[in-house]
Chain A
Amino acid sequence: AQSVTQLGSHVSVSEGALVLLRCNYSSSVPPYLFWYVQYPNQGLQLLLKYTSAATLVKGINGFEAEFKKSETSFHLTKPSAHMSDAAEYFCAVSHYYKLSFGAGTTVTVRA
């Protein structure tokens, strides 16, 4: 069965610093991978997705992720953090029609 593991439940970065959120996947078939963001008391918004085309995927709000098959990873990065990036981030893998999510990483941004 497909699953994802997010390393680090909390990440704190300074405004302007690199944001790096780690996600490793387990899948018996080529995976479809997603990153979602959730602001307090809101639903999930899709940041980006990997669909086996390009290994470097660009998303919204300046985020990007790189699919590395050899490392079974799909880490999310943003070169320069903004205060508005403070939120919870979820990595997910698609198993046919349903998504399996990681436990999430909460990002706080220090001024």
Chain B
Amino acid sequence: DTGVSQNPRHKITKRGQNVTFRCDPISEHNRLYWYRQTLGQGPEFLTYFQNEAQLEKSRLLSDRFSAERPKGSFSTLEIQRTEQGDSAMYLCASSSVIAVPYEQYFGPGTRLTVT
């Protein structure tokens, strides 16, 4: 299977701890996206990379959140000093710059629970 993969699938952490999630996109895709989905809602855009460059960050991405994509391959999303409001499903997606109109393929998500 060469789809988008995310690790871990589930993470339970205590408030105030730092967590890091990883996303491995489809190998030929140079665009990578992070979304957050809370219970009963649709996913909300967090940030976007084209290759290694982070081109947009949503206002939802507070200073406690940081995302990287070194060498334009996998990406990490780190949340520092987690809060209960950070509990959500974090989804990663990737797409090809050639594909129009930006058809995105999603990974299985990382479900974060902050206790």
A positions within 8 Å CB-CB of B: 9, 32, 34, 36, 41-46, 49, 51, 90, 92, 94, 96-104
**New contact pairs (17) apart from A45-B106, A98-B56, A100-B45, CB-CB < 8 Å:** A32-B101, A32-B102, A34-B103, A43-B6, A43-B107, A44-B93, A46-B103, A46-B104, A49-B101, A51-B100, A94-B102, A97-B31, A98-B48, A99-B104, A101-B44, A103-B40, A104-B42
**Which secondary structure dominates chain A's binding surface?**
strand
Q: Could you tell me the distance between the alpha carbons of A68 and B54 in the complex, rounded to whole angstroms?
A: 35
B67 contacts the other chain (Cβ, under 8 Å)?
no
B positions within 8 Å CB-CB of A: 4, 6, 31, 33, 35, 40-45, 48, 50, 55-56, 91, 93, 95, 100-109, 111
From the candidates B42, B56, B111, name the one contacting A101 in the complex (CB within 8 A).
Answer: B42
Work out how many contacts link A and B, with CB atoms closer than 8 A. Answer: 63
The answer to whether B43 touches A99, judged by C-beta atoms less than 8 angstroms apart, is yes
The answer to whether A99 touches B4, judged by C-beta atoms less than 8 angstroms apart, is no
From the candidates B40, B42, B55, name the one contacting A92 in the complex (CB within 8 A).
Answer: B42
Chain A residues positioned under 8 Å from B44 (CB to CB): 101
The answer to whether A99 touches B101, judged by C-beta atoms less than 8 angstroms apart, is no
Chain A residues positioned under 8 Å from B108 (CB to CB): 42-43
Chain A residues positioned under 8 Å from B104 (CB to CB): 46, 99
How distant is B90 from chain A, measured CB to nearest CB, in Å?
11
